[in-house]
Structure 1
Amino acid sequence: MFSIPDHLGYDLAVLFIGFNPSIRSGETGHHYANPSNRFWKILYDAGLTPRKYKPQEDGELLKLGYGFTNIVSRPTKTAAEITKEEYKTGRLKLMALLQEYRPKAACFVGKGVYEQYSGLGRIEWGEQPHPLVHGVVEFVAPSSSGLVRMPTDEITEIFRGLLPYVEQFRQEKGGKS
């Protein structure tokens, strides 16, 4: 089992940021690969992708302007296994990635991911009022894990909040994805 590669680029509409890879993702080398994870369905149902992609196609989403990373790269069964030191190191790595790649929006997939990154509590869904990296929209969405009890349609509606940033990105790029 290995950490999975980040999918990064200098021309991203959204960089999706997870806690860390699942065991299944570590085995396959692809983001959101656990069969119970609803991420790919949510992206499609929210109108962010033209079709439902499979985890093994995660690298293809760079063509749509979407990248992937995690605050911690070590695969675990649950986020509870991540150490404080791993979060501290991950926070610094993530800050550097956002400053270098400057996506239009950074979507933190889970409130806990944003809490670990920002050090803030009492976080609302959607765009955060005081981004830590100037010029990058920090957007918090629910985790897509099958362990999350929030109904998929509610999660999808929150992810739909990314559409204005994606549209703005595409307009700035002359309508190209």
Structure 2
Amino acid sequence: HHFAHPGNRFWPVLHRSGFTPRQLKPSEQDELPGYGLGITNMVARATARADELTPEELREGGRLLSARVEASGPSWLAVVGVTAYRTAFGDRHARIGPQERTIGGARVWALPNPSG
């Protein structure tokens, strides 16, 4: 499950930000579509740390994620990890927050990584 480590801040922050009516457990991630939310990986390889992903993997992940967003048509895309975002989308100067770019019509936010 995504962000399943007990100390990870993703699920508490998702709830406290008002996206879910209660704090979900990682095992309940399948409930997200019911709230109009989705979750996916940019790179489909589990790692202990984000810096274990190569720039090539991140760029390919950005390409695949862009295609998925274009096909599914969400209004918003939030990318967790500003460093990964910078690499995946070739935006060296991106900062946390809303981005100038859109992807498939979706507004884009870069967020800090909640994984400690």
TM-score of the superposed pair, with normalisation by structure 2: 0.91
Write out the 4+ residue segments of structure 1 that deviate beyond 2 Å after TM superposition.
none
Following superposition, the deviation at residue 136 of structure 1 comes to: 0.5
Write the distance in 1 (CA, Å) between the matches of 2:64 and 2:89: 13
Write the distance in 2 (CA, Å) between the matches of 1:122 and 1:84: 16
3-state SS of the aligned residue for 2:100?
coil
2:51 aligned with 1:84: no
Q: Indicate conservation of the 8 Å contact 2:55/2:88, yes or no.
A: no
* 2:34 counterpart letter in structure 1: K
Q: What number of residue pairs does the alignment pair up? A: 116
Write the distance in 2 (CA, Å) between the matches of 1:118 and 1:110: 12
- 1:3-152 superposed matches below 5 A: 30-131=1-102, 133-146=103-116
Q: Indicate conservation of the 8 Å contact 2:4/2:26, yes or no.
A: yes
The structure with more radius of gyration: 1
Q: State the Cα deviation string for residues 6-37 of structure 1 (Å, max 9, x = none).
A: xxxxxxxxxxxxxxxxxxxxxxxx11101111
> What is the alpha-carbon root mean square deviation over aligned residues?
1.3
Q: State the Cα deviation string for residues 54-78 of structure 1 (Å, max 9, x = none).
A: 0000011110011011111100111
Q: Percent identity over the alignment?
A: 38
Unaligned runs of 5+ in 1: 1-29, 147-177
Q: Which of the pair has the greater relative contact order for Cα pairs under 8 Å at 6+ separation?
A: 1
Q: State the Cα deviation string for residues 40-96 of structure 1 (Å, max 9, x = none).
A: 100111111100000000011110011011111100111111123322321221111
* 2:115 counterpart letter in structure 1: S
Write the distance in 2 (CA, Å) between the matches of 1:141 and 1:64: 20
* 1:145 counterpart letter in structure 2: S
Unaligned runs of 5+ in 2: none
Q: Indicate conservation of the 8 Å contact 2:73/2:104, yes or no.
A: no
Once the two structures are overlaid, the 10-residue window that deviates more, 90-99 or 56-65, is: 90-99
* 2:114 counterpart letter in structure 1: S
TM-score of the superposed pair, with normalisation by structure 1: 0.62
Q: Indicate conservation of the 8 Å contact 2:8/2:115, yes or no.
A: yes
